[in-house]
Amino acid sequence: MTDPILQVSHLTIEAGSRTLLRDISLVIAPHEVFTIIGASGSGKSTLLKSLNRLVDLTSSLKVSGQVSFRGSPIYAPGVDADALRARIGILFQQPVVFPGSIAQNVIFGVKHLGQTRKQDWPEIAERALREASLWDEVKDRLQQPAILLSVGQQQRLCLARALATQPEVILMDEPTSALDPKSTEAIEDLIVRLKVKHTLVLVTHNLRQAQRLADTLAFVGGRDGAGQVLAIGNPDDVLSNRDQPELAAFLVTD
């Protein structure tokens, strides 16, 4: 078996006296689509954001346990969380475009991280936009404000912006929940293609999407007041699992 790209061991996240996630352990292999499902408020997004230490930005959250990226613990003292986030990109539920043109948005990360030469930016932008299947739609209007794009295109632009920095892992927090069916399908097709080069961790509560895309499926459910991984494995196995009452209830209501 190949070495995992991400490994979560006994991860617990607390907000004050409240435990959001308890004793989470999971393994994510390279080039797989690892999908997390669960009811609203079960801590899926918090779990996702713990994988690139974006939880650090919420000062009230306390993390214990460990997450390892390529074998190195990311919560160890001295780890550069910013450098880590450049390698583990994230796509949010709502597209977050920055003020400025489409081109400025795509190269925003590479420009400010300062790892590439200015003359390479157009090439990087084109590569990222092609990878995000947006190039053909925007190649003639790269200097137009990004905010003029449709919501679906904005989400793909955000994906292109993340891809431009060449992350090894892309975290996706319900990336299609704000999109129409056509844009959703475009993003889903992209996810399938992107896993050739990247590892994807997808949070969704769309079961059809989870079934279609997931190589590994994890169900996060609330038990004893905290989110826990209650089922994990092959998507068909997880979705047919009736041993966990929380999962059964989720499958019935969703």
Partner 1 sequence: MQRRFSFTRLFSYSFSALAAGTVVAMFVLLILQSLPVWQHEGLSFLTGTKWFYRQQQFGAAPMILGTMITAFTALLLAAPLGIGAAIFTSEFLHPRLRLTVKVVIELLAGVPSVIYGLLGVLFLRNWIYDLLTPFDPLSGDTLLTGAVLLAVMILPTVMTLADDALRGVPVIQRHAARGLGLNSSEVALHIALPQSVRGLLAALLLALGRALGEAIAVFLVVGRQDNQWPYRLLSMQPLIQSGQTITTKLASSETNIAYGYPLHWAAICGLALVLMVMVAGITLISASFSRRHVP
State the minimum distance, in angstroms, from the CB of residue 108 to partner 1: 7
Nearer to partner 1 (CB atom), residue 57 or residue 252: 57
State the minimum distance, in angstroms, from the CB of residue 240 to partner 1: 35
The candidate with the shortest Cα–Cα distance to 152, out of 95, 98, 201, 213, is 95
State the minimum distance, in angstroms, from the CB of residue 178 to partner 1: 13
Using an 8 Å Cβ cutoff, are 109 and 164 in contact? yes
State the minimum distance, in angstroms, from the CB of residue 181 to partner 1: 25
The candidate with the shortest Cα–Cα distance to 82, out of 165, 155, 11, 4, is 165
Nearer to partner 1 (CB atom), residue 29 or residue 84: 84
Nearer to partner 1 (CB atom), residue 86 or residue 129: 86
Nearer to partner 1 (CB atom), residue 121 or residue 239: 121
Beta strand 216-223 with 199-203: parallel, antiparallel or unpaired?
Answer: unpaired
Q: Which residue has the tokens 């053909």?
A: 136
First to last CA, the chain: 34
Positions in the binding site for partner 1 (CB under 8 A): 52, 54, 57, 59, 82-87, 89-90, 92, 94, 96, 98-99, 108-109, 112-113, 158, 161-162, 165
Using an 8 Å Cβ cutoff, are 46 and 61 in contact? yes
